[in-house]
Structure 1
Amino acid sequence: MNSFKVTLSIGTAIAALSSMAGSAQAQVGAAPATASDVGPGEIIVTAQRREERLQDIPIQIDAFGTEAIEDAGIKSTADVVAQIPNMTFDRGDTYRSNFITMRGLTQINNADPPIAFVLDGVPQTNQQQLSATLFDLERVEVVKGPQGALYGRNAVGGAINVITTPPTNDFQGVASVSYGRGDTLDLAGGVSGPIVRDVLMVRLSATHKESDGLIKNDFRGDKVDFVDHDDAVRGRLLFTPNEALTVDLRGEYADFKGGSNSYAAVFSGDPNDFVNPQFNFPAFAEGRNYGGTLKIDYDFGGATLTSITDVADYRQTNRADLDFRNPVDSPSGIFGQGFQAGQGQNQTIETFSQEVRLVSDGNQPLRWLVGVNYLSTNRNLRTRAFVDVTSTPDQIDNPALIFADNWEDNNNDAYGVFAQVDYDLGPSLTLTGGIRYDKDKRKQEDVNSGAVRKTSFDRVQPKATLTWKPTDDALVYATFSTGFRSGGYNAPQVGVPVFKAETLENYEIGFKSAWADDRITLNGAIFQMNVKNYQFFYVEAATASQIIDNIDKVRIRGAELELQARPAEGLDVSAAIGLIDSNIRNSLQFPSDEGNKAPRTVPFSSTVSAQYRKPLMDGIGLFMRAEWQHFGKKYWNTDNVAVQDPYNLVNVRLGVEYDDMGVYFFGRNIFGDEYYSEFFQPAYSGLDVAIGYPSQPSSYGIEARIKF
């Protein structure tokens, strides 16, 4: 489907919704909205560290509450990202790995993401944590645009703020089970209640997933995307001894094993030639992570002091094919050397973080916050490549078969100081100023040789916003903001030893508006980002190394428009479009790339959804939902040679609900559109063949959910 047709479809949808909105305004004007049918304009978020009405914040934010998460069947970060224009979530590499791209800024392997991913106030610093299962959630907020002043390092593209469901003062619970294609079983649940009423409350939550998989390995005959198990359990204690003090203690443990490095060798080199994997090695990744968070809030009666302390430990073992072929179809082996090759990674990431902030009340003309934070990260990564003789994982421990061994130990100490002030210049005019200073100290040891390297990166990140709010239901803003993604070391003994810090300046104009008692919202923005030392990623197979490099200057221009409406009782509709124009302005190392689009750029994306909930009889109701997600052409690499055609995903959900119970049929990608969620040509894969990571095919199943 071409961009013109998509634009026409979106325009038609918006026109239809606007027409419906007009009649809706007449309907809802007769009576105010009740607590059970609050419209999209009344969502409360904490994106700026205090509770605020979403429509009052001069930032483009998408927010999903508990009901919206359940209605859309959101169970992962990928499910959230699929709802957001100008944002993509690509699967690739190991079981938990992913590549998020937001507003043209993309994630890279074994390095800092382009967004701040924050779970209950704690920054998650490794990319595998972004792929963890989302369960028992109160809210997810997606904050777009550089947020360095508040979120610090890595928030160059924005932030994802995840808030889990807190303990409650009354006994309650939720449970769900779903079964789908590929013998995929999903279980999740949580229970909550008081230990000492009004003083000490507890919540326990857990999730489990297993699947035979859907993507066939044409050589082995098994499924490369199997999930042996993906389990997690979370506990929270909430202690409120008095009105001023709140102590929130959270602990979580997760364990997983699943298919990994599920790349297909694409001999044609065409990203629109969709083939199944055909490698001979039984690829898998297994690991576990655990952590604990202590959050303390004290209300001084005018300002609240918050302390958040977190410790986390993540470990993963990965074993996979390296040439992504087999000895029958490709007897010449990797690089024509006559042998098959395998790879493996052992990774450990240990983190400690501490943040302290003081936030004023939000109902004064002068609102402010100040804070400091510290993050310590130790990442030990050993990557080996070996001659594959027997297609068994234990070959990696045979020194005679090893032909590449990179073993690095990385230590990172990051410090940040930040402040933000909002001042009402008048009844309708507000000036916001923010500033942050970040410093990263990095140290890397080559474990094999004992060689040590040290360096540091630092940056001041200012932000200024002028907001004009002519009415309670409309605002216009202009923002200047900055972002900083730290540099670092690549693996020892590779061609690019150090990659530089990525910095940017963002200029943005946007608006927010609401009508019909907040049952209709229309928000939008246009922006330009000037990026220096844009970070991108490729593979050097000869040394089994993943390389992070820099493009000197990239300009990114874009626009977003989002509409949400409740035109009639029980009916919710939304439509959104995103436009991105990225341009490599200067590349000293790769001058032939100048004038091209930045890697993973999708110039046009859109999403449309509609859902309807209708009571039938005696507490029984009908639920229907359909969503269409369109992704335009994708420019995979900096040379813009590999361009993937547009594709569309259509998801449906149909259920019957009775009081707090529901049974639903669901279908994802029901028309079976094919695409690669990651694609590398030989120049970027480091191999002698292009490789693509196949997308998930059509899936369907049934889900039951109960609340008590």
Structure 2
Amino acid sequence: MFALIAYPGHAFAQSSEPAEQEAEQEAEDTQYGNTIIVTAQRREENLQEVPAQITAFTADMIEDASIRSTQDFVNLTPNMSLDSSDTYNNTFVVVRGVTQINNADAPVAIVIDGVPQNDQKQFNMNLFDVERIEVLKGPQGALYGRNAIGGAVNIVTREPTDYLSGFAMASYGRGDAVNLSAGISGPLGTDNIKFRLSGVYVTDNGRINNTFANENVDFVDHDYTIRGRITADAADWLELDLRGSYRDFDAGSQFDSVVFSGDANDFVNPQNNLIGFTTGEQWDLTFKADADLGFATLTSITGYNDVSEVNRGDLDFRNPVDSPGGFLGLGIQVGQGQDRFVELFSQELRFTSPDDQPVRWIAGVYYLNTQRALRTRGFVDLDGTFEQIDNPALLLIDRQEANEFDSYAVFGQLDVDLTDSLTLSAGLRYDRDDREQTDLATNNVRSASYDSVQPKVTLTYNFDDEKLLYATYATGFRSGGFNAPGVALDSFEDETLENFEVGFKTTLANGKLRFNGAAYLSNVNDFQFFFVEAATASQIISNIDRVRLFGFELEAQYFPRSDLQFFAALGSTDSDIREITVFPGNEGNRTPKTTRYTVNMGAQYTPELSDDLDGFFRIDYEHRGDRFWQVDNVDVQEPLNLLNFRLGIENDTFGVYFWGKNITGERFFTDFNPREFSGLDIDIGFRGQPATYGVEARFNF
């Protein structure tokens, strides 16, 4: 479906067709929307040329699918899930069975405009003014380094334009949910300097009702982001790019439901008396410089992030009227809160050889400094207010810690065209992570270092310009670290993964059909997982000694004609706990938060209604298989089916739409913590969003 880009000097990509036939094929590819350029391997390549499983969304696809948040594109990606839980920005992303854990490194590298987002709270975001989203599955440690153990997500925002342009979008939905975004771009006094300014504002009264307080707990008082960007052609050989953003939010938090039955499919509403909230800010600043040195391009990327979050919530998740026994049957109500402040500074220097060579290479170095301060408290609730958290006499737990991490890396990749059809790619990265934690109550200091060499080797065979087969061996690394001072398990080991994968990419039917797939087998040592010990207000990261993951992915898109497309994807992840010391007896079970298979299907139709107006209809179906919540596999959520649609009229200037999400009203939990792994005397679940629908309008100029 996607035409290959023929780079000069790539023997396997060269064509003997006459120039007019190439132009005709390019026009056909454009007609069917088939050519997608990605930067997954740190250079511009056609999606169908990259020997890796990548789910990519262009700007048009993002608009068509109404992707407004991280959750939206994850729901369209096979073998990937994103589960909301606990605080407003807290999510657990799972890719091919590798799982996110609280207050620790993500299992995927998150990169926005070339800058890694190294804090867990940065992934759950409102998406606006985005040019492209690329989801790479499988370990990408050779180029992306630590945390890319399950894959990488590369988000590229829109660049400034050399002419004045802009857009505005407004959406209104059930629960008085409002989403507004707008932007403007153009030259800044000269053709060599351009700017882009955009922003988004979200507010929402919510749809999940607390049955005790009789108010919605999934509210968003406000969540807005402002982003500015300036690019400059400083010289013929030098390009500069400065980007900054600010985010502020205040929203509902910690509205878990008590599931007295212990049934992971008993979808009850929250009933706690303390209505939680999360407030916070995020500052981001990025400076990028690209210098063409002839033999290579030198890229420097400097990033700074400041992430703060304060949350307050219930800890017993009940109320004194319906549950007078209270927390652990002690006859008391209990609340919780955490103050979290993170600063990150990163610097990358990278040399990239020209594309038009039979031998291509990338080499670079990377540094990251992370400073994270946490204060976690649990308190006796006497009057139903959060001011009690500042009363020392009511505190049950008060843990204060300061963490500093220094991370270093050196990396490189070499691509060699061995023949017209055969390409060998070899990458290598060394990561070192130095970690230090200070217990602010005792001034006790702990330190540890973790390091890993991460190789990757890929052999790609091109049968012709439309079919390739690849085989890959790759590794991934996620650093170990410390739990909060004073918890039962004081530290956790680093996680390593080695992956064996074979895959194919095909473009058929004169560019109308794209069909890609892969099968993989991963062996994981010290698989990291998360559980809660509520009695001591402890969030604990631990390790499963050995895990095996295996599965496959298939993705297809078919354009029978230019105004009609069908798409489908199937993902399978089977996990097997081979050895577990911390909870023995669970060998042979599946790992936490694993979904055995996912199915994505849909269609989009844009008929011409008049010379300047098109219709728009899109439907998306998502099936999620059984969800295994913990290592004992006792609590399993049954399969889930979600149906979304979007209907409207549009042209290049404006569009008006009616949309719906989860229109069949499926009930489900996005997270479930059984009592055996929560320290509570009851099970708790975090409700997913019910049926939601609304209207949307956009305008471009």
TM-score, normalised via structure 2 length: 0.96
> Does residue 279 of structure 1 match 2:275?
no
C-alpha distance after superposition, 1:79-100 (max 9, x if no partner): 1110011111100010000000
> Does residue 351 of structure 1 match 2:344?
yes
> Does residue 493 of structure 1 match 2:470?
no
* Inter-CA distance 79–624: structure 2 relative to 1 (3 Å threshold): same
| Alpha-carbon distance in structure 2 between the residues aligned to 1:573 and 1:37 | 17
What residue in structure 1 maps to residue 556 of structure 2?
563
> Does residue 464 of structure 1 match 2:457?
yes
| Alpha-carbon distance in structure 2 between the residues aligned to 1:32 and 1:366 | 28
> Does residue 308 of structure 1 match 2:294?
no
What residue in structure 2 maps to residue 437 of structure 1?
430
Is the 8 Å Cα contact of residues 169 and 197 (structure 1) preserved in structure 2?
no
Is the 8 Å Cα contact of residues 29 and 511 (structure 2) preserved in structure 1?
no
Is the 8 Å Cα contact of residues 297 and 305 (structure 1) preserved in structure 2?
yes
Identify unmatched segments of 5+ residues in structure 1. 1-27
| Alpha-carbon distance in structure 2 between the residues aligned to 1:420 and 1:544 | 45
Q: Which amino acid aligns with 1:317?
A: V
Once the 2 structures are TM-superposed, how far is the Cα of residue 470 of structure 1 from its aligned partner?
Answer: 1.2
Is the 8 Å Cα contact of residues 41 and 520 (structure 1) preserved in structure 2?
no
Once the 2 structures are TM-superposed, how far is the Cα of residue 568 of structure 1 from its aligned partner?
Answer: 1.1
1:442-521 mapped onto 2 (5 Å cutoff): 442-521=435-514
* Inter-CA distance 353–178: structure 2 relative to 1 (3 Å threshold): same
Once the 2 structures are TM-superposed, how far is the Cα of residue 38 of structure 1 from its aligned partner?
Answer: 4.3
Q: Which amino acid aligns with 2:324?
A: P
| Alpha-carbon distance in structure 1 between the residues aligned to 2:271 and 2:381 | 15
> Does residue 213 of structure 1 match 2:206?
yes
Is the 8 Å Cα contact of residues 346 and 383 (structure 1) preserved in structure 2?
yes
Once the 2 structures are TM-superposed, how far is the Cα of residue 631 of structure 1 from its aligned partner?
Answer: 0.2
What residue in structure 1 maps to residue 16 of structure 2?
none
Once the 2 structures are TM-superposed, how far is the Cα of residue 518 of structure 1 from its aligned partner?
Answer: 2.6
What residue in structure 2 maps to residue 200 of structure 1?
193
Once the 2 structures are TM-superposed, how far is the Cα of residue 410 of structure 1 from its aligned partner?
Answer: 0.5
Equivalences, count: 681
> Structure 1 residue aligned with 2:129, among 136, 146, 162?
136
Is the 8 Å Cα contact of residues 488 and 500 (structure 1) preserved in structure 2?
yes
Is the 8 Å Cα contact of residues 32 and 562 (structure 2) preserved in structure 1?
no
What residue in structure 1 maps to residue 592 of structure 2?
599
C-alpha distance after superposition, 1:277-298 (max 9, x if no partner): 0000020000101120000001
TM-score, normalised via structure 1 length: 0.95
1:364-375 mapped onto 2 (5 Å cutoff): 364-375=357-368
| Alpha-carbon distance in structure 1 between the residues aligned to 2:26 and 2:194 | 31
Once the 2 structures are TM-superposed, how far is the Cα of residue 39 of structure 1 from its aligned partner?
Answer: 3.7
> Structure 1 residue aligned with 2:158, among 165, 187, 197?
165
> Does residue 544 of structure 1 match 2:544?
no
| Alpha-carbon distance in structure 1 between the residues aligned to 2:277 and 2:29 | 46
1:216-365 mapped onto 2 (5 Å cutoff): 216-365=209-358
> Structure 2 residue aligned with 1:383, among 376, 380, 390?
376
> Structure 1 residue aligned with 2:664, among 636, 661, 671?
671
Is the 8 Å Cα contact of residues 229 and 241 (structure 2) preserved in structure 1?
yes
| Alpha-carbon distance in structure 2 between the residues aligned to 1:75 and 1:44 | 22
> Structure 2 residue aligned with 1:629, among 613, 622, 634?
622
Identify unmatched segments of 5+ residues in structure 2. 1-20
Is the 8 Å Cα contact of residues 374 and 416 (structure 1) preserved in structure 2?
yes
| Alpha-carbon distance in structure 1 between the residues aligned to 2:545 and 2:36 | 40
C-alpha distance after superposition, 1:503-549 (max 9, x if no partner): 01100000000023433110000000000000000011122110000
Is the 8 Å Cα contact of residues 42 and 518 (structure 1) preserved in structure 2?
no
What residue in structure 2 maps to residue 617 of structure 1?
610
What residue in structure 2 maps to residue 608 of structure 1?
601
SS for the counterpart of 2:43 is coil
What residue in structure 1 maps to residue 14 of structure 2?
none
Once the 2 structures are TM-superposed, how far is the Cα of residue 159 of structure 1 from its aligned partner?
Answer: 0.4
Moved more, 511-520 or 375-384: 511-520
| Alpha-carbon distance in structure 2 between the residues aligned to 1:302 and 1:512 | 31
Is the 8 Å Cα contact of residues 41 and 55 (structure 1) preserved in structure 2?
no
Q: Percent of aligned positions with the same letter in both sequences? A: 52
What residue in structure 2 maps to residue 416 of structure 1?
409
> Does residue 528 of structure 1 match 2:528?
no
> Does residue 120 of structure 1 match 2:113?
yes
Is the 8 Å Cα contact of residues 475 and 513 (structure 1) preserved in structure 2?
yes
C-alpha distance after superposition, 1:347-385 (max 9, x if no partner): 000000000000011121100000000000000010000
| Alpha-carbon distance in structure 2 between the residues aligned to 1:30 and 1:616 | 29
Once the 2 structures are TM-superposed, how far is the Cα of residue 242 of structure 1 from its aligned partner?
Answer: 2.5
Q: Which amino acid aligns with 2:479?
A: S
> Structure 2 residue aligned with 1:406, among 391, 399, 404?
399
What residue in structure 1 maps to residue 66 of structure 2?
73
SS for the counterpart of 1:34 is helix
SS for the counterpart of 1:131 is coil
Is the 8 Å Cα contact of residues 33 and 517 (structure 1) preserved in structure 2?
no
| Alpha-carbon distance in structure 1 between the residues aligned to 2:46 and 2:22 | 21
Once the 2 structures are TM-superposed, how far is the Cα of residue 33 of structure 1 from its aligned partner?
Answer: 5.2
Is the 8 Å Cα contact of residues 41 and 514 (structure 1) preserved in structure 2?
no
SS for the counterpart of 1:394 is helix
Q: Which amino acid aligns with 1:253?
A: Y
| Alpha-carbon distance in structure 1 between the residues aligned to 2:73 and 2:655 | 22
Q: Which amino acid aligns with 1:488?
A: G
| Alpha-carbon distance in structure 1 between the residues aligned to 2:664 and 2:421 | 49
| Alpha-carbon distance in structure 2 between the residues aligned to 1:656 and 1:539 | 49
Is the 8 Å Cα contact of residues 255 and 275 (structure 2) preserved in structure 1?
no
* Inter-CA distance 609–33: structure 2 relative to 1 (3 Å threshold): farther
> Structure 2 residue aligned with 1:576, among 562, 569, 575?
569
Once the 2 structures are TM-superposed, how far is the Cα of residue 29 of structure 1 from its aligned partner?
Answer: 12
| Alpha-carbon distance in structure 1 between the residues aligned to 2:200 and 2:510 | 38
Is the 8 Å Cα contact of residues 86 and 579 (structure 1) preserved in structure 2?
yes
Once the 2 structures are TM-superposed, how far is the Cα of residue 132 of structure 1 from its aligned partner?
Answer: 1.4
